[in-house]
Amino acid sequence: MRDFPSCFGENGVQVADAYCSSVVVSKSYQNSVTCVYKCKLFGKSCLISIIWSKNLMGQCLTVEIEDLSHQCICKVDVKPSLFSKRKGSKSLQVNSSKIEVFWDLSLAKFGSTPEPLEGYYIAIVCKGEIVLLVGDLKKEAFKKTESTASVSTAILVSKREHISGKRVYGTKVQFCENGSIHDLKIECDTNCNENPCLVVRIDSKIVMQINHLRWKFRGNYAIAVDGLPIEVYWDVHNWLFGPSLGNGVFMFQTCSSSVVTWSCLESLRDSKSPGHGFSLFLYAWKNE
């Protein structure tokens, strides 16, 4: 969870150091999706990360619980050998209390990413109450966990996804709780044009187009989706000038204000500032 590149400056989008333009991630890590939720645990706010990944050994699931200073409280790894059973649970002792993680993916349906589309649940329980419930099989989760709570107050604050393509990079996104699920596509052909353009479409509609990309390989742009103001930040330096395995980095940040100031991607992940909403981070990898 600590490998977000600090690529952006406080008063714009600028490189903080050479590292941010030369991030190299292994092939196995490129196939992963991370969702970060803000929850209550032991009466305090915490961050729970649900990490879906896939490698040569198979499907993996990791649950990380951190406090707001990013100190690890506990971590659960569901490795391929356990994942093959499709359902199970793990218990951990934290601060003299038991934290239980339940999962059932026996009916899960997957798309192009390691994150399931439907037919599953992940439940994190502490002192008989569900702290976080992810997935659509909520009735099954309450029955299995025997939880006394009816509603989880967890909030999805950020999602990080690695996507790949040759010219078009697509995913699905929900910018607010109970909002519509949109098709998001990033289009850019860096091979056939000396000065390519960058196009972002939401539900096939162009919401952003950046021409002269070699001069504007980093920047930000404001759009609106479902009436929400959204800041789009991009850094495609590696696509144009970097190594062949380089990636483009995009962030879609919902905000309650037209002014968004921030120092780096990592500081936005915890969403502690009142003006910060949901953040979608996309690492777009070019297929050879």
* Complete domains list, the chain, with CATH: 18-28+160-286 (2.40.128.180), 32-153 (no CATH)
Q: How many helices (H) and strands (E) does the chain have?
A: 5, 19
For residue 227, the model assigns a pLDDT of: 87
Rg for the chain, CA atoms, rounded = 19
**Percent above pLDDT 90 for the chain:** 40
For residue 256, the model assigns a pLDDT of: 52
Output 274 or 163, whichever has higher pLDDT: 163
pLDDT band at 22 (very low <50, low <70, confident <90, very high): very low
Secondary structure (DSSP) of 123-149? EEEETTEEEEEEES-HHHHHHHHT-S-
Output 147 or 247, whichever has higher pLDDT: 247
> What is the signed CA dihedral for 271, 273, 47, 67, rounded to 10 degrees?
150
Evaluate if residue 77 carries a pLDDT over 50: yes
- Taking phi first (over 0 means left), then psi (-120 to 50 degrees means alpha), and beta for anything else, what does residue 227 get? left
Evaluate if residue 149 carries a pLDDT over 70: no
Evaluate if residue 255 carries a pLDDT over 90: no
As a whole number of angstroms, the distance between CA 230 and CA 67 comes to 27
Evaluate if residue 146 carries a pLDDT over 50: yes
Output 288 or 282, whichever has higher pLDDT: 282
For residue 11, the model assigns a pLDDT of: 29
Evaluate if residue 113 carries a pLDDT over 80: yes
pLDDT band at 288 (very low <50, low <70, confident <90, very high): low
pLDDT band at 272 (very low <50, low <70, confident <90, very high): very low
In tens, the pLDDT along 186-238 reads: 999 877 667 889 999 999 999 999 999 999 999 999 999 988 899 999 999 99
Evaluate if residue 106 carries a pLDDT over 80: yes
For residue 80, the model assigns a pLDDT of: 62
Share the mean pLDDT of the chain: 79
Evaluate if residue 274 carries a pLDDT over 60: no
Q: How is residue 106 written in tokens?
A: 């026996």
Nearest to 114 by CA among 78, 139, 166, 147: 78
Count Cβ atoms within 10 A of the Cβ of residue 190 and give its class: 0-12 exposed, 13-18 middle, 19 or more buried: middle
Average pLDDT over residues 51-56: 86
* CB atoms closer than 10 angstroms to residue 174: 15
> What is the signed CA dihedral for 129, 277, 14, 282, rounded to 10 degrees?
60
Average pLDDT over residues 136-143: 91
Average pLDDT over residues 128-134: 90
Alpha-carbon torsion (187, 231, 3, 51), positive or negative: negative
